[in-house]
Amino acid sequence: MYGVSQTVKRAYRYRFYPTDEQAGELARTFGCVRLVYNKALDERTRAHTLDGRRISYVESSAALTEWKRTEDLAFLNEVSCVPLQQALRHLQAAFANFFAKRARYPAFKSRKRSRASAEYTRSGFRYRHGTLTLAKMEQPLAIVWSRPLPQGAQPSTITVSRDAAGRWFVSILVEQKVAPLAPVTERVGVDVGITALVTLSSGEKIDNPKHERADRKKLAKAQQALARKQKGSNNWARARTSVARVYARITDRRRDYLHKVTTRLVRENQAIAVEDLTVSNMVKNHNLARVVSDASWRELRTMLEYKTAWYGRELLAVNRWFPSSKLCSACGILREDMPLGVRSWECACGASHDRDVNAAKNILAAGLAER
């Protein structure tokens, strides 16, 4: 053993195919979850705005009980109460983050734009012998077990969702012991980019597949077909699903590639240094938004964060204002200007630099210095 194993919460996501009855039950549950969340948010907002009073989760839960007793909202009793209570808990967490200045004020959930999902805790499902049955359902879900759950794992939370492409997924949260990887001596600096997804301080450049660009023609064709349909018609709904399927293909391929890249970096290096970029600000630039979103730097960083924490590696974040590109990694001289069009340059000390490789070397040095 190279270290003490730690218990982490890990979600396993699977696709499933509901029966018509199950699909109807879940669709009703999604609608009720959204309604309860929005109604509770409305009451909290009015109380905070008019009276300067904060409503607690306990008060919202008591209000939910009263709503169920009214004639207009009696249909809330037809679905499992567990996802409704979870919606209130999520709202409570959203307000806690807002008051702690970690997030913006909670927003209302839109039927068209919000993800259709419902969360079940242990009292809302039954998992036995590899079959999963949700509350209010007689038959288990027809899950495609693309990979097995850890042996002996017992789900603590189940999240059922349907994406815009009409695909159904179940995310199973379990507690799992993860052993750290064997220590290695290699350390690497990572400079993210567009032509190359990442450039390493070792000089290696990992290509950016540009999945959105690869499917751009297919996406444009689907969007043109959607634009020709009458909004709200059945043909429009089918065309809208076709567009969503193209987006889903792009997203799935991008996520799979990022998992492979980040897993390799974590396995091969003991310490990984990255720039602490503010991607949300960068996508405000209309000239860069599309390519930056396609590269998905934020998701890359998130994957590195939890994988290094799981496997006993170290992630070093370098200040976003650090002049990694303008600093000579050989002598430390700082150039006054470095336009984006300059991809290679020669320092006064005689060192020749590839812009991205030089930046990755400087990021590694800065990350190690700030430990």
Show which residues are catalytic. Answer: 191, 275, 356
Tokens, residue 147: 């990979």
- Residue 123 amino acid letter: S
Nearest to 307 by CA among 185, 180, 210: 180
Give φ, ψ of 8 to 5 degrees. -125, 155
- The 8-class DSSP code of residue 137 comes to -
The alpha carbon torsion through 221, 227, 233, 235 (nearest 10 deg) reads: -20
Q: Judge contact between 326 and 338, C-beta under 8 A.
A: yes
Can you tell me the distance from the alpha carbon of 67 to that of 38, in angstroms, rounded to the nearest whole number?
13
Taking CA atoms, 329 is separated from 41, 334, 349, 364, in Å, by: 53, 10, 11, 10
Nearest to 273 by CA among 187, 186, 181: 187
332 Cβ neighbours under 8 A, 6+ residues apart: none
Beta-strand ranges (E) seen in the chain are: 6-16, 116-121, 125-128, 131-134, 143-144, 157-162, 168-178, 187-192, 196-200, 205-207, 271-275, 314-318, 344-346, 352-354
The alpha carbon of residue 257 and the mean position of all alpha carbons in its chain are separated, in whole angstroms, by: 15
